[in-house]
Amino acid sequence: KGNKVVLIYEIELAVKWESTLKNAAGEVVSTSKGTYVMPCIDTVEDLDKFEIQVKFNKDGAEYKAANDFAKTHGEKKVREIIVAAIEQLKEQAGQTGTDKVTSSHNREPEKSKSNGTTEAKPEAPKQQISSSDHKGSSIELSTDFNAPAREIFECFTIPPKVMAFTQSKAQVGTTVGEEVLLFDGAIVGKVLECEMNSKLVWEWRQSSWPAGVRSKCSLEFTEP
């Protein structure tokens, strides 16, 4: 499929603020300080939909006007600044960083593991010319991730999360028989078996493979 930029980010951010309101005569009528807290800005959610928590150092009638201004006006401004910064980051990544996505008979599907053993067992054909020449092979791999099994499982079954990682169109799910489509259709298949948060089995193939040639990928998600 050529070169693709894959930009993955997860940001936790805290910004201190100070609000001072003055009347027409220039006299200070209310002042306050606090923090804008953004617990998670990531590629899963829409860029401008992240949560902003407005925290006040002091709360009370004398600080209310300044606090309200910080919440109604400052929060919007902070969001605009962060969105602009991430857009700039994406632009820079497009100029300097690429992740090459290729089609190959020996390409393995993504595999994962959560605090224990997650196994991927793609039975991919090697060097086949046609479906009649296919002799088959089996590969077994395991990887550890510092995350609950449920979160890793969702990275294979929730389309927005898959698309955030691959930066390409994807169709996945948990219903047996449901279509599987990855990398804009470079990989196609269907769900053969699904046990929520613990096991996922796909039948899949590269779109460039000879007709009739398929592989099976079995993903197991376990925790200690």
12 vs 161: which has the higher pLDDT? 161
Residue among 204, 209, 164, 211 at smallest CA distance from 187: 204
∠ CA 119-121-127 to the nearest 5 degrees?
150
User: Which pLDDT does position 99 carry in this prediction?
Assistant: 37
Distance CA 94, CA 81 (A): 20
State the average pLDDT over residues 66-72: 87
Task: Compute φ and ψ for 188, nearest 5 degrees.
Answer: -135, 155
CA dist 120 and 138 (Å) reads: 10
| Under 8 Å between Cβ of 111 and 141 | yes
In this prediction, residue 28 carries a pLDDT of: 87
Which pLDDT belongs to residue 220?
93
Task: Judge whether 218 and 35 are in contact, CB under 8 Å.
Answer: no
Domains of the chain by range and CATH?
Answer: 2-96 (3.15.10.20), 103-220 (3.30.530)
pLDDT band at 109 (very low <50, low <70, confident <90, very high): very low
Residue 200 is predicted with a pLDDT of: 93
Is the confidence at residue 133, as pLDDT, over 80?
no
**pTM flag (> 0.75):** no
- Between residues 19 and 180, which one has the greater pLDDT? 180
